[in-house]
Amino acid sequence: MSKSITVGTIAEYVEGILAGDPDCLVTAPNSIDQAVNGQIAFAEKGAALKALAKTQASAVLVPKGVQAAAVNLIQVDNPRLSFAKVLHLFIPSSSIPIGIHPSAVIGQGCRIGNDAAVGPGVVVGSGAAIGERVVLHPNVTVGDNVRIGDDTVIYPNAAILERSRIGQRVIIHAGTVIGSDGYGFVFDGGRHHKIPQIGIVQIDDDVEIGANTTIDRATLGKTWIKTGTKIDNLVQIGHNVEIGEHSIIVAQVGIAGSTKSGRYLVAAGQAGIGGHLTLGDGVTIGPQCGVAQSVPDNQTMSGTTLAMPHGVWLRLQKVISDLPALFKRVRRLERQQSTLSPKVEKQETDSR
């Protein structure tokens, strides 16, 4: 990274309080334990704050009130958040120059906004509309009549298939597929008959989608990922799913068709969520948790089980929720038994 920014400029940028030299130059961010002269780090709590005494960083973002004589400090309310903002200052410029690469294929009737960058091997279908300052990295495919909002970035080999709607400031990582057919079939006459998937996918503003994730188009209507949601790598989202605003979907989660979540859903790694369910606002699904029923607002769901015959599993589900009460009952009976045992033994001795 070749940028040089003064500590004073960074302090103003994050609205922090500077304790140190405002003219000190910073050329890169780094972690508190690996930073060297010319770099900036952050220390939030615990061991990181203790490391202030020996860090070689030129500046450190710290909570308000923290003091250290040997290093320039920028005191802020939330060091981690402020460090994330600082990282934006050091993002390398795109390797894709503004304009359309000669090897790109652009369909009829396309509209490409000002300062967009269309890289080598990109294919844009007929009637597509690409917003301003959009970056399409090499070998991206954009289908017919797709809409992509301003300042969106799509990384190599991603495919945005026909009629999909992508909002502003969306980030779509390499290998992701938006708008592949939903998984719909009707079984008849000994074979599976395909149900045409004629809906769309809509991705709202400020969504980020990780690498090799797939989001299926709706059978009818739309599959809808709402504003601010962040989706990790290797996630599968089925047709007609709706994900509420500012949700977090972690790697290898699968969400079956027509399930709808409220705002602030958190689905941890490898969670599986069944189809046609409703998840309320603020629901958290733990790792590897299988969700087979709707969940009300602000509930946390967790638990995994070993594979077993389905009939046994069904009987087990009826018992699991009763286990805490059953355990208390057993403990009570044990205590009663322990108090009765001496009397019973005495009666048996007397009877002899």
Residues 6+ apart with CB under 8 A from 146: 125, 128, 129, 160, 161, 162, 163, 164, 165, 166
Q: Across the strands, what pairs with 105? A: 123
Q: Write the DSSP string, 175-215.
A: T-EEEEPP--EEEETTEEEEPP---EEEE-TT-EE-TT-EE
Report which of 165, 254, 174 is spatially closest to residue 217, judged by C-alpha positions: 165
Which of the following is catalytic: 137, 173, 239, 276? 239
> What radius of gyration do the chain's Cα atoms show?
28
CA 24 to the chain's CA centroid = 36
Write phi, then psi, for 53 (nearest 5 degrees).
-65, -25
Write phi, then psi, for 145 (nearest 5 degrees).
60, 25
Q: Which amino acid is at 3?
A: K
Give kind and range of the element (H or E) at residue 318: helix 310-320
Write phi, then psi, for 318 (nearest 5 degrees).
-70, -25
Annotation marks residue 239 as catalytic: yes
Q: How far apart are CA 348 and CA 98, in angstroms?
A: 97
Beta strands in 72-143 (DSSP E): 72-76, 99-100, 105-106, 111-112, 117-118, 123-124, 129-130, 135-136, 141-142
* Residues with catalytic function: 239
